[in-house]
A and B are shown apart, each in its own frame.
Chain A
Amino acid sequence: MSESPKIGLREAVGLLTIFLVAKAFIPYLAFIFDWGLSGTWLIVLAHLPLGVVGVLVLVWLLNRHPGKTIVEIGEELVGPIPNIFLALMLLIFLIGLVALELRQFGEFLLTAFLPNTPLSVVLLAFMAAMLAVAYMGIDTLARVAWLFFLPFLFGVFVLLALTANLWESHGLYPLLGPGPWGLVKGVGSTLGVGSDIILLAIIAPFLASGVMRTVGLATVLISGLTVFSIILVTSMVYPFPVAHELVLPIFEVSRAINLGRFLVRLETIFLPLWMFAGLISMTAGLYGAAAVTARILKMPYYRPFLFPISVIVIAVSFLFPNIISAVQISFNLLITWSVVPVGLVVGALLAAEIWRSRKNQQKGGPKSGDGPRSGAARGGLRTKPSGKGT
């Protein structure tokens, strides 16, 4: 087990990219077609520069407080009581994310591959694997993610390339889909696609100094381009409104591959990639939730919270009566509205940081993050990652 986890640049990029891209393999991303119609690919393309701006802001905030997670930064900037509310919002977001992804991955598996297996068995099996790896530590998970990252990207792009004979460019027309204003509304309503990047703020203490910007930018660019490619190819293979009817877009795209008598039913080959991506993504979310809980309670160990949080996640994932309601709520909560809690947290901290910097500059004192106002001097706060379990 990791005593003092360290995550390298490549591992961090692999972990965060898979965390962001895994949603492309479950149904709820398909709802984005409702906003973009034939121009959905433009919405995803527009998310890229916005994502870059967002991650740069986040990285700026994190770099002002090296060695701290966002919960500790919040405690330092806004005080313990308001920070609890901010941290709870993050926690609820992460638990909701994992629970909804778990339900959708489970239903995906049942629909496509295990029709006779009870849902509870599938979800419990997922959770058992997630618990085992989350227990081993975030650096273990990051290394597994890096191990899988290049085959994952290769698999995704090979899958998309194999459908080249089915591409029809008329699926992209009209180019602007619902029109410019419709696209702007679509971009605004689906900003939550990138909320998952908040995981960077939780694993920040374990990254080497000076790499955070590179990690953030590389993650946003690679994940953005990957999701863009998936949406683009889906739009060309299944033009709108057919794309709107798909429950599992990428699964349907893979089923469409037909390169001769023997090269059919290739979705089998890609299933392991999707399942791996889902496992890594949900394990990262589970770890994030446990780590945030540990930071809220100022405990050095996150492992005791893994099991209780997994119970909550399973319970939440079973709340929805069927997959349709789960997908609908996922889209509304995660894609549309998740930007609110995450944005609130980051925005509040950003505002506090700017206010404090200006106040210190006016007084001519040290900048925020060093000197007597730092967490170390206050006592009771860890400014470095704890020795065990985090």
Chain B
Amino acid sequence: MSLFSKLSRRVLFREPQEYQSLFESGSQEDQQQAPAGDRRQFKRKKAETERLADLINQDVPLPTDLQEIKQTLGKLFRSPENNDVVIRQFIIGMEPPLQALMVFYDGLADKSTQNMAILQPLMFFPSLRPDPGKKLVDSLMDRVAESLLPGNEVVTVRNYQELADNVMNGLTVVVVDGQDRALAVETRAWEHRGISTPQVEAVIRGPQEAFTEQIRANITLVRKYLRRTSLVSKFVKVGEMSQAQCAIMYLDDIANPQLVEEVLRRLQSLKADFIHESGILEQMVQDTDTPLSPQALSTERPDRVAANLIEGRVAILVDGNPWVLIVPTTFFSLMQAAEDAYIRWPGGTFARVVRYVGLAVAMLLPAFYVAAVTYHQDFIPTDLLLAMTGAREAVPFPTILEILMMELAFELIREAGIRIPGTVGTTLGIVGALILGQAAVAANIVSPILIVVVAVTALGSFAIPNYELSVSVRMLRFVYLLLAVFLGLFGIVAGLFVHAALLVQMRSFGVPFLAPLTPMTASSPDYLWRGPVWQQERRPDYLDPLRSRRQPRISRGWTRHKRKGGGGDGGGK
């Protein structure tokens, strides 16, 4: 700990210097008062947990003695205190009979599969013969796996770490006396939510499926859209105390191998306790910690993941989470919605323009209002100025205070509406906003035009398709408000200047955040506006994919070749 840290802890936070060590061993006071037996128990417990952790971390191989394994498993899974784990001993009905046990978590494993695929065949129908010239004991586990266990996935387990991993993932591990290997049989069957419609990224035209909390189901959903043998899903475990199963998906014949390598490198280098949500994972792998914008695209739509994978991006899935990260991303990707591609290009372009206007309004409209009313009244046309002045005449507060009150009230309504469940929340939000606004105007706390400004601002923020980007914009709105109140329009311009520079400097997995606009790189017409589908000929150059062209110049073959036979309109033989 540096001198500055020590000083700050002592002076600012009044922490004693021995805080950390005392936290681990108990405070001096506690140590003086606690009986010696408690201290010995604490140390004993700590030593035991470290020994058990070493079993896992140091790849200790399985011994051959079944009783030893059973005792160790009991300690490892904290049985019998832990009522979830089941260690069931049984006898394999061979001549001579063999002792065996199976270990699994109750609730994660499917009982009927265990009965049909493990217990019945082993207990009632074992008929194993050794290979010619060999003893049965030498190839027992192979023969058991090949002949007796009809489960669709049987994996060999050689050490305690693999055993624990498989049990925690819902498999049932079978251990046989005298063997240094165990078998893990696929019996996963925990309760989960079915595939439903997207909650946030709803579209009118387009698929209505969303990801679920099951990583396997999510991978399947993506494979349903992208039927290519080159679609790779690579599993990575992330986390130290509790390892979360993550997967990266990419198209091996399109994605830049360096990008894939970088994604894997970042994931594999993470050392954190518990990364169970894609939002936490995103914060751990993003390039810069900036509140300006997210640097990964999170989506709940498998069609969107498929579309991004075919461009050469990489998807990161986290088990237990229905949001998938797509990297790298750019500002323009964050402003796209899935529906842009599904409707004709003028509609897609129009929708995109509306979104950009919404973004500008959400970020700058309150600031412009404050600047115009406070500093630049001559900017406003005279009639409008007279109307605004008349409306503001009875309001006792300065404009900045008005707008801060209403903005904060609106943010409170928004947050409260999320917390209150069901339709009550939605109704309460609408009614609250209406009544609050109307009452505030009637009480001359705010002017009517301010209600319009705040409402339009809120609508603008809802037009932003990416939730995290809209949160960033909501926060930045207050920064621009402060700049406007001190320096008027010039403050807004100076803020935009620095903001633009910060955005230009941002990167997402090495890709400049404002690509392909700056630096200008080759791309299909799909960033500021949505071009026609038949003109989407190139993959984004900033991804440097293995195949840059996605479709030929003439992708609609029917436009080139006329139909054979038949004359003009209505003609014929």
CB < 8 Å neighbour of A125 from B378, B487, B518: B487
The reply to whether A122 and B490 form a contact with Cβ atoms under 8 Å apart is yes
Majority secondary structure of chain B interface residues (helix, strand, loop or mixed): helix
The reply to whether B498 and A113 form a contact with Cβ atoms under 8 Å apart is no
CB < 8 Å neighbour of B519 from A8, A128, A272, A275: A8
The reply to whether B494 and A143 form a contact with Cβ atoms under 8 Å apart is no
Which B residues from 116 to 131 make CB contacts under 8 A with A? none
Residue B497 at the chain A interface, CB threshold 8 Å: yes
What total of chain A residues lie within 8 Å of the partner, measured CB to CB?
Answer: 35
Which B residues from 363 to 415 make CB contacts under 8 A with A? 375-376, 378-379, 381
Residues of A within 8 A of B492 (CB): 272
Given A113-B375, A125-B491, A146 and B497 touching (CB < 8 A)?
no
Nearest residue, chain B, Cβ from A267 = B379
Residue A181 at the chain B interface, CB threshold 8 Å: no
Give Cα A132–Cα B498 distance, bound, in whole angstroms.
7
Nearest residue, chain B, Cβ from A147 = B518
Q: Mark B403-447, 1 if CB is under 8 A from A, else 0.
A: 000000000000000000000000000000000000000000000
Give Cα A114–Cα B376 distance, bound, in whole angstroms.
8
Residue B514 at the chain A interface, CB threshold 8 Å: yes
Give Cα A23–Cα B567 distance, bound, in whole angstroms.
67
Residue A315 at the chain B interface, CB threshold 8 Å: no
CB < 8 Å neighbour of A262 from B381, B497, B514: B381
The reply to whether B487 and A140 form a contact with Cβ atoms under 8 Å apart is no
Nearest residue, chain B, Cβ from A106 = B490
The reply to whether A11 and B518 form a contact with Cβ atoms under 8 Å apart is yes
Residues of A within 8 A of B376 (CB): 113, 268
The reply to whether A265 and B493 form a contact with Cβ atoms under 8 Å apart is no
Residues of A within 8 A of B375 (CB): 113-114
The reply to whether A279 and B493 form a contact with Cβ atoms under 8 Å apart is yes
Nearest residue, chain A, Cβ from B491 = A125
The reply to whether A141 and B519 form a contact with Cβ atoms under 8 Å apart is no
Residue A109 at the chain B interface, CB threshold 8 Å: yes
Shortest Cβ distance from residue B489 to the other chain A in the assembled complex, whole angstroms: 6
Nearest residue, chain B, Cβ from A262 = B381
Give Cα A8–Cα B501 distance, bound, in whole angstroms.
16
Residue B504 at the chain A interface, CB threshold 8 Å: yes
The reply to whether A143 and B514 form a contact with Cβ atoms under 8 Å apart is yes
What total of chain B residues lie within 8 Å of the partner, measured CB to CB?
Answer: 27
Shortest Cβ distance from residue B382 to the other chain A in the assembled complex, whole angstroms: 9
CB < 8 Å neighbour of A144 from B379, B487, B500: B500
Residues of A within 8 A of B519 (CB): 8, 11, 143
Q: Mark A101-123, 1 if CB is under 8 A from B, else 0.
A: 00000000100011001000110
Residue A271 at the chain B interface, CB threshold 8 Å: yes
Shortest Cβ distance from residue B105 to the other chain A in the assembled complex, whole angstroms: 49
Give Cα A11–Cα B490 distance, bound, in whole angstroms.
24
Residue B505 at the chain A interface, CB threshold 8 Å: yes
Nearest residue, chain B, Cβ from A133 = B501
Residue A337 at the chain B interface, CB threshold 8 Å: no
The reply to whether A275 and B490 form a contact with Cβ atoms under 8 Å apart is yes
CB < 8 Å neighbour of B490 from A8, A114, A141, A264: A114
- Chain B CB within 10 Å — which of A8, A141, A262, A279 has the most? A279
Given A114-B375, A147-B500, A8 and B493 touching (CB < 8 A)?
no
The reply to whether A133 and B498 form a contact with Cβ atoms under 8 Å apart is yes
Residue A382 at the chain B interface, CB threshold 8 Å: no
Residues of A within 8 A of B517 (CB): 147
Give Cα A146–Cα B504 distance, bound, in whole angstroms.
11
The reply to whether A113 and B493 form a contact with Cβ atoms under 8 Å apart is no
Given A114-B375, A147-B518, A268-B376, A140 and B501 touching (CB < 8 A)?
yes
Give Cα A240–Cα B475 distance, bound, in whole angstroms.
50
Residues of A within 8 A of B497 (CB): 129, 133, 144, 276, 279-280
Nearest residue, chain B, Cβ from A9 = B520
Which B residues from 459 to 500 make CB contacts under 8 A with A? 487-494, 496-498, 500
Given A114-B487, A143-B504, A262-B381, A129 and B520 touching (CB < 8 A)?
no
Give Cα A265–Cα B383 distance, bound, in whole angstroms.
13
The reply to whether A272 and B489 form a contact with Cβ atoms under 8 Å apart is yes
Residues of B within 8 A of A122 (CB): 487, 490
Nearest residue, chain A, Cβ from B521 = A8
CB < 8 Å neighbour of B505 from A114, A140, A271, A275: A140
Which B residues from 511 to 543 make CB contacts under 8 A with A? 512, 514, 517-520
The reply to whether B489 and A271 form a contact with Cβ atoms under 8 Å apart is yes
Give Cα A279–Cα B496 distance, bound, in whole angstroms.
11
Shortest Cβ distance from residue A377 to the other chain B in the assembled complex, whole angstroms: 34
Which B residues from 342 to 379 make CB contacts under 8 A with A? 375-376, 378-379
Residue A136 at the chain B interface, CB threshold 8 Å: yes
The reply to whether A146 and B520 form a contact with Cβ atoms under 8 Å apart is yes
Give Cα A8–Cα B514 distance, bound, in whole angstroms.
14
Residue A301 at the chain B interface, CB threshold 8 Å: no
Residues of B within 8 A of A126 (CB): 494
Give Cα A271–Cα B131 distance, bound, in whole angstroms.
89
Residues of B within 8 A of A275 (CB): 490, 493-494
Give Cα A129–Cα B501 distance, bound, in whole angstroms.
10
Given A113-B488, A126-B494, A271-B489, A147 and B504 touching (CB < 8 A)?
yes
Give Cα A126–Cα B490 distance, bound, in whole angstroms.
9
The reply to whether B487 and A117 form a contact with Cβ atoms under 8 Å apart is yes
Give Cα A133–Cα B379 distance, bound, in whole angstroms.
29
Shortest Cβ distance from residue A270 to the other chain B in the assembled complex, whole angstroms: 11
Nearest residue, chain A, Cβ from B501 = A133
The reply to whether A10 and B498 form a contact with Cβ atoms under 8 Å apart is no
Residue A1 at the chain B interface, CB threshold 8 Å: yes
Give Cα A271–Cα B498 distance, bound, in whole angstroms.
17
Give Cα A354–Cα B504 distance, bound, in whole angstroms.
41
Given A114-B375, A129-B497, A265-B381, A143 and B489 touching (CB < 8 A)?
no
The reply to whether A144 and B490 form a contact with Cβ atoms under 8 Å apart is no
Nearest residue, chain B, Cβ from A131 = B498
A-B contact pairs, 9 of them (CB 8 A): A114-B488, A128-B494, A129-B497, A136-B501, A140-B504, A141-B501, A144-B500, A265-B379, A275-B493
Top 8 nearest A-B pairs (CB, nearest first) are A129-B494, A268-B379, A143-B518, A275-B493, A143-B504, A133-B501, A279-B497, A140-B505
Known: A136-B501, A143-B504, A272-B493; 19 extra A-B contacts, CB below 8 A, are: A8-B520, A11-B519, A114-B487, A121-B487, A122-B487, A125-B494, A129-B498, A132-B501, A133-B498, A136-B502, A136-B505, A143-B518, A143-B519, A144-B501, A146-B518, A147-B500, A147-B514, A147-B517, A279-B493
**Residues of A with Cβ closer than 8 Å to B?**
1, 8, 10-11, 109, 113-114, 117, 121-122, 125-126, 128-129, 132-133, 136-137, 140-141, 143-144, 146-148, 262, 264-265, 268, 271-272, 275-276, 279-280
